Amino acid sequence: MVQMRASWTNWGRALAALPLAALLPVAAMAQSADPVRWQLNMGKGVTASSQNAYEAHMLALWICVAIGVIVFGAMAYAMFKFRKSKGAKPDVDFTHSTKLEIIWTVVPVALLVLMAFPATSKLIAMYDTRDSAMTIKVTGYQWLWKYEYMADKPGDVVSFTSRLDRKSDEIRQSKVDARTADHPHYLLDVDNVLVLPTDTKIRFLITADDVIHAWWVPALGWKQDAIPGLINEAWTEIKTPGVYRGQCAELCGKDHGFMPIVVKAVPKAEYDQWLAAERAKNAPAPAPAEAAPVEAAPEAPATTAADQNAPAAAANAAG
């Protein structure tokens, strides 16, 4: 009997520790916008969408934690309270309990409804691209991204390609252990970053030119498939200036792991300056032939800074 009481005390302690273990995700809450190594929980991100996703996730997580504690607690209690060595006898006449069946149907349904309401309203908000201040077209290629800042006048469209930075590319082909190579953003850096203004609703039109890719920056809180022949929409409104990194999230060929995304969010004034400079840089020589309609046939990636990497690409193909 004394032994039994001792084991009960131990189990009591173990059960009491369960909520403590459940608090572990809290430790991961204070974190950077980008995912970090060994991060346990999802990030809060830097947009309303990512905050919404985080809240929906936390609600579901805590409900799961509560269910886990109750179910495993009840199991442990039943196993040790009603065990054979203590003289417990199975109730062989038991068939069912209507009361219990009603409870274990109604409670999960109520929980699902409780989760469905906020999740649905947040999902609807996530897809509402109305009233956006600007539009950026994102096109996935094997294995780089093209960004086009849409404008009313075709001449004002700013477009460029964005691909893996040369340093990451050199490291990955050098057979050096990347963890020892001096690159804080190995495989998460690009030549031309996507510059975006903060506190501005930005609509994205996302498509692809060859195979299916997916544009994903965790800090923005969503990923969107880039599908040839189809234009998907998404939007973001970044609250905090900063550099946010992502990757292609759809297995798209041998270099799928080497087409990162880098978003640089800057205050609106700084963005306007940047855009004006890009427009000046890209301004075509005034010739009538340049006045092609915006909806031209899908073209190959624009020849910009990316082409300076042609030797590396050739070496890549040869290797």
Q: Which stretches of the chain bind Cu ion, using CB under 5 A?
A: 213, 248, 252
Which residues touch 198 (CB under 8 Å, ≥6 apart)?
238, 239, 240, 241, 265, 266, 267, 268, 271
Least Cβ distance, residue 232 to Cu ion (angstroms): 14
Q: What is the pairing mode between strands 260-266 and 194-197?
A: parallel
* Continuous H helices in the chain: 2-22, 24-27, 48-81, 98-126, 166-173, 268-282, 310-318
C-beta separation of 163 from 259 below 8 A = yes
Structure tokens at 184: 């804080």
Least distance between Cu ion and beta carbon 154 (Å): 28
The least CB distance from residue 140 to Cu ion, in Å, is 5
**Identity of the residue, 54 or 216, whose beta carbon is nearer to Cu ion in the bound complex:** 216
Q: Which is nearer to Cu ion, 67 or 230 (CB)?
A: 230
Closest separation in Å from C-beta 261 to Cu ion: 10
Tell me which residue has tokens 């309609």. 293
The residue (of 52 and 309) whose beta carbon lies closer to Cu ion is: 309
Decide whether 34 or 250 has the Cβ nearer to Cu ion. 250
CB of 53 to Cu ion, least distance (A): 22
β-sheet bridge partners, residue 214: 225
Q: What is the DSSP letter of 27?
A: H
* 216/274 with CB nearer Cu ion: 216
